[in-house]
Amino acid sequence: MRNLLVVVMTVFANSVMAADLQSRVDEYLNPYLQTNNFQGVVLIAKDDEILMVKGYGMANIEQAVPNTPETVFHIASVSKPFTAAGIMLLADEGKVELDAPLSDVIPEYSQSDELTLHHLLAHTSGIPNINNFEEYGDIQLHAQTPESLLEYFKDLPLEFDPGSQYSYSNSNYNLLALVIERTSEQSFGDYLSRRVLAPAKTKSAAHDSEPTAIIPHRADGYSPDGLFGIRRAPWLDWTAKTGNGSMVATADDLFIWTRAFFNDGIVTPADRAMMLSEHTPNVGYGWFIRPRHGRPQYHINGRSPGFSSYLGYYPDDNVTIVVLSNLYNSITTSVGTDVAAMVFGVPYEVPHLSAEQLPASVAAGVPGRFQYGADFYNANVVVTLELRDGHVHQLWGDGGFESALIPKGDDQFVDRAFWSEVAFVRDENGVVVELQFDGFSAERIE
């Protein structure tokens, strides 16, 4: 009788909590929805129970198809833990060794004698990031295989000695997909489906290997346009991201897989411990390890044209947060972190997004070119600030990617594409001499 009473009380408490959470999430997301800065699905789960899962905005704007819990999204780099789990399964079977030279599997790679699977999994290889190549825009327009992707960087020098430092590179996970194919004698997608996804009993999760395939309930991808506009994202063939960002899934798929992963349903406890160890600060195999809200957290986030994603797991509370969006900005990480704050009863801030124009006297000192250092995400990149109708726009590189800055306060902004804090530092004449982005600084060069 006592056990039954505990179950009834728990169910009642969770239902009250779920209703309160959905109300808080709706209120929190409303400013983002009103300004075209979020559309997607949010899922909150505790233990084995989904407390809330809800779609927001449109899966297809032209056809007025709403996002729902059944909507399938491209999940970008949230694909990486799946690839890493596949490698660990091969290691358990004795088909690969994490510390053996990569030349055992990929001898044609020019630096393979110096590299191991461990270096690839932990992003300590020094292999240049294929996403930063000038030709990457063209690479994404054509069907690729792990072998064809290798051709773009197999003869390039490493950026540092393997194991000496950390540098996030999607090329690492392209190579891991090739390792999976060669050692399993299956395609990457088939191996993933049979060995990683089927044991978890996901429903829609898959590697997107065929651009003409019909994927029921798949969302179309969109991009920010100016300050608060929206447009269709450019088309790409997702095989260009095989291993590092090629998967599709629903929010429920990610919850199901996370629950299986952390309850011995995918890899062994020893392998999971290896994947979740900090091989460099905050970095595991396919996961980031960063505390939030005074609690341990394992998470991974991603963004690729048209989509962004966040998966967070709080082991001490057995809480899973999933945020998927069919909008090409990085807001999902901020949303996921704030949604977790709601669950844990810690402070969070409902966003204020301003469309106010900068006063002419303030705007005058803004335009110019600024350069980040070698330690920035995109080493030594030059950013141009332009003014249009009283609003600031950032142009990355030479005629490259553009993002608008949404005003938050005096010389404080949010970069709309990356959803990062941006600040201006001015000299005594009011000219912006330094640009700050996520704690990195760029100095004015023109």
The per-residue pLDDT for range 181-231, each reduced to its tens digit, is: 999 999 999 999 999 999 999 999 999 999 999 999 999 999 999 889 999
Of 392, 341, 337, the residue nearest 368 (C-alpha): 392
When pLDDT is averaged across residues 156-179 and rounded to a whole number, the result is: 97
Supply the pTM of this predicted model: 0.92
Q: Beta strand 288-289 with 391-396: parallel, antiparallel or unpaired? A: unpaired
Position 117 pLDDT exceeds 90:
yes
Q: How many residues does the chain have?
A: 446
Helix, strand, coil fractions of the chain, as percent rounded to 5: 30, 25, 40
pLDDT of residue 3: 53
Position 420 pLDDT exceeds 80:
yes
CA distance linking residue 396 with residue 392, whole number of Å: 13
In the chain, what are the domains? 74-344 (3.40.710.10), 360-444 (2.40.128.50)
Looking at the chain, the whole-number percentage of residues with pLDDT higher than 70 is 96
What do you get for the CA distance between the two ends of the chain, in Å? 76
Task: Say which residues have a Cβ less than 8 Å from residue 198's Cβ, sequence separation at least 6.
Answer: none
Helix (H, G, I), strand (E, B) or coil at 373: coil
**CA distances from residue 360 to 152, 384, 388 in whole angstroms, order as listed:** 47, 19, 12
Average pLDDT, the chain: 93
pLDDT of residue 397: 85
pLDDT of residue 8: 41
Computed on alpha carbons and rounded to an integer, the radius of gyration of the chain in Å comes to: 22
CA distance linking residue 36 with residue 222, whole number of Å: 10
Position 7 pLDDT exceeds 50:
no
- Of the two residues 351 and 428, the one the predictor is more confident about is 428
pLDDT of residue 18: 82
pLDDT of residue 389: 84
**CA distances from residue 399 to 170, 377, 403 in whole angstroms, order as listed:** 23, 18, 12
CA distance linking residue 415 with residue 394, whole number of Å: 8
The rounded Cα 56 to chain-centroid distance in angstroms is 19
**How many CB atoms are located within 10 Å of the residue 65 CB?**
14
Please tell me the least confidently modeled range out of 212-221, 298-307, 377-386.
Answer: 377-386
H or E element in which residue 375 lies: none
pLDDT in tens, 125-145: 999 999 999 899 999 999 999
